[in-house]
Amino acid sequence: MYKNSEKFLAAFNRIEKALRQELQNSKGIGFAKAVKILAKYNSIVSKYSDDLLEYAELRNAIVHDKIDTMHAIAEPHDSVVKHIEKIEKDITQPKVVIPMFSRRVVSFQVKDSLSDVLEAIHEKGFSKFPVYYEDEFKGLFTESAITKWLADNKFSSGSETLIEEILPYQKNSNFKFIGRDTTVYEAIGIFKDQIEKGNRIDALLITENGKNSEELLGIITSWDMMGIQS
């Protein structure tokens, strides 16, 4: 039966190994410094940076302040062991957006009518739709564009209005394309980064390599992100 200190150290050592590998085994860089460097561009390390720095101090206490070879001066609580093992799994086996967000994406052509979009909103409950001109991506169409168009066209029924007539009302920086191997935490980071820049995006569109000319494999909305950020 392993003690909590042994399980804690095993998880910590695997994390340390993973960080060193990402830094290409840079010599002379301690654990704390490695965390601070990687937190600048690795979204998972950034998420857990405070925890990792605290656990580094706990590791030092366990390793350097042992009473003897058999007994650690501190035995981490079960919750600490559980959390560091979760961090280790997230760092060494990060979840990626596909297959997690793999789904059939409802899209439209610019020559489709507004009534087609409204029907999809009513039947499927979706509100964000990629729009194409044949195979060329033209934008992400949302309810916001419809609302703005209606405000300017109060006396139009709109039933036969084409999407291409409403698309100019759509903010054209409301999306990003990402590749299928993007980690979930990287996806969260994109949403947060855009908000910090004053550009709240509506969705991330997933393709094989993050190119808008590729087939859509899935879509992630800001609502999708809310349930997985804890």
Residue 164 has pLDDT above 80, yes or no: yes
- Round to whole Å and give the CA distance between 31 and 57: 10
Which position has the higher pLDDT, 125 or 130?
130
Write the CA distances from 47 to 161, 185, 198, integer angstroms.
46, 8, 21
Q: Given this model, what pLDDT does residue 218 score? A: 97
Angle at 192 between CA 187 and CA 194, to 5 degrees: 95
Residue 199 has pLDDT above 70, yes or no: yes
The neighbouring-strand residues paired with 68 are: 71
Residue 130 has pLDDT above 80, yes or no: yes
Q: Given this model, what pLDDT does residue 1 score? A: 74
For 54-104, how does the pLDDT look when each residue is reduced to its tens digit (9 = 90+)? Answer: 999 999 888 876 655 556 567 899 999 999 999 999 999 999 999 999 999
Write the CA distances from 145 to 106, 117, 124, 156, 223, integer angstroms.
17, 12, 19, 15, 19
Query: Which of the four pLDDT bands, split at 50, 70 and 90, describes residue 109?
Result: very high
CATH superfamily of 99-226: CBS-domain (3.10.580.10)
Query: Which tokens go with 205?
Result: 């569109």
Domain ranges of the chain: 4-94, 99-226
- The full length of the chain comes to 230
SS3 call for 44: helix
